[in-house]
Amino acid sequence: MWGAGTGALRRLRCSYDLGENVPKPARAASPVWQTVSRPTDKQEGILRLDGRNLEIDAPVELQQRRSPQQERAKETVEKILDATAELLDDEGHENLTTERVAERSGVNIATLYHYFPNKLALLHALAQQFAEQQQEKLDAVYRGREEADWRDSLDRLVDEALEFNRTVKGALAVSRAMQNNATLRRVDYERDLRQSEFVAGVLAELGVVGSRRELQTRALMLLETAGGAIDKALMWYPENANDIMDEVKVMLRQYIEYYINQAS
């Protein structure tokens, strides 16, 4: 979601005719958070915001062989994924192997293979874990939406995404690693679409009008812009990352305000 840009927007554009009109910046101020009592006809089909699941039906080669049931087994899997994250940050995805992960985690290689068939499955599991953790932050902001102006909620989300990718070991590295394998890219793309449906639902509640495709495209614009900016800011300008993301917040607010004003 909020890591390296994945190109989901580009792939969505290849699937749909999105038109050639480029929106002009809006001048009028937009309203505070307002909840649409019921979706319009154009908004029917937008994913409802409760009960959403980011778990992707991945190909067999990416699936975890077993889900740990006992506490000790869960701790073992956690050690394996922590070691994967550390190696990604320290040595890069090119040097990641199951043998290196087993060595770093202190887990027997046979035990690692008991849960994960290969390094791609490790990357998928780690990316899934991070996506769910970030979605929890998005959920928390959404649940408190009626107590805050939507602009403040947006700023909080960007700040938390920046901090997550700056401080969580392997967060940005696994986002980049997912783009270096065709199967992982496809799974990452599907996960992006799930998250964009959530954001599309939020846009609909703010009063942005459009078809499911239009709202999802706008949601992807927001996610890809923020995610790509975070990736580049932390890679090339870490000391100025906060200032850079403050500028990105202005862009995101104006983009949302344009479509809110279009509907009024």
* DSSP string across 245-262: HHHHHHHHHHHHHHHHHH
The pLDDT assigned to 26 comes to: 37
* Cα–Cα distance for residue pair 22/42, rounded to 1 Å: 21
Higher pLDDT, 204 or 15: 204
Q: Taking residues 129-156, report their average pLDDT.
A: 91
Residue 84 token pair: 């994967």
**Which residues, other chains included, contact 128 with Cβ-Cβ below 8 Å and sequence gap of 6+?**
54, 55, 56, 191
Q: Taking residues 128-134, report their average pLDDT.
A: 93
Q: Taking residues 138-148, report their average pLDDT.
A: 87
C-alpha pair distances (Å), 114 with each of 68, 80, 96: 10, 12, 18
Higher pLDDT, 194 or 121: 121
> Do 6 and 178 meet the contact criterion of CB atoms below 8 Å apart?
yes
The pLDDT assigned to 4 comes to: 56
The pLDDT assigned to 50 comes to: 41
The pLDDT assigned to 82 comes to: 98
The pLDDT assigned to 232 comes to: 96
Residue 38 pLDDT level (bands cut at 50, 70, 90): very low
The pLDDT assigned to 34 comes to: 42
**Domains defined for the chain, CATH in brackets:** 8-16+31-49+149-263 (1.10.357)
* Ramachandran class of 107: left when φ > 0, alpha when ψ lies in -120 to 50, beta otherwise: beta
* Cα–Cα distance for residue pair 72/118, rounded to 1 Å: 22
The pLDDT assigned to 75 comes to: 97
* Cα–Cα distance for residue pair 250/254, rounded to 1 Å: 6
Residue 104 pLDDT level (bands cut at 50, 70, 90): very high
> Do 9 and 244 meet the contact criterion of CB atoms below 8 Å apart?
no
Question: Tokens 């928390």 correspond to what residue?
Answer: 140
Question: In one letter, which amino acid is 138?
Answer: L
Q: Taking residues 135-156, report their average pLDDT.
A: 90
Higher pLDDT, 8 or 125: 125
Give the lowest-confidence range in 8-17, 18-27, 138-147: 18-27
On the question of pLDDT at 57 being above 90, the answer is no
The pLDDT assigned to 156 comes to: 95
3-state secondary structure of 59: coil
* Cα–Cα distance for residue pair 62/184, rounded to 1 Å: 8
* Cα–Cα distance for residue pair 142/131, rounded to 1 Å: 16
pLDDT in tens, 196-211: 998 999 999 999 999 9
Burial class (CB in 10 A: 0-12, 13-18, 19+), 53: exposed
> Do 215 and 43 meet the contact criterion of CB atoms below 8 Å apart?
yes
Question: Tokens 């679409």 correspond to what residue?
Answer: 193
Q: Taking residues 1-25, report their average pLDDT.
A: 45
* Mean per-residue pLDDT of the chain: 84
* Cα–Cα distance for residue pair 217/196, rounded to 1 Å: 8
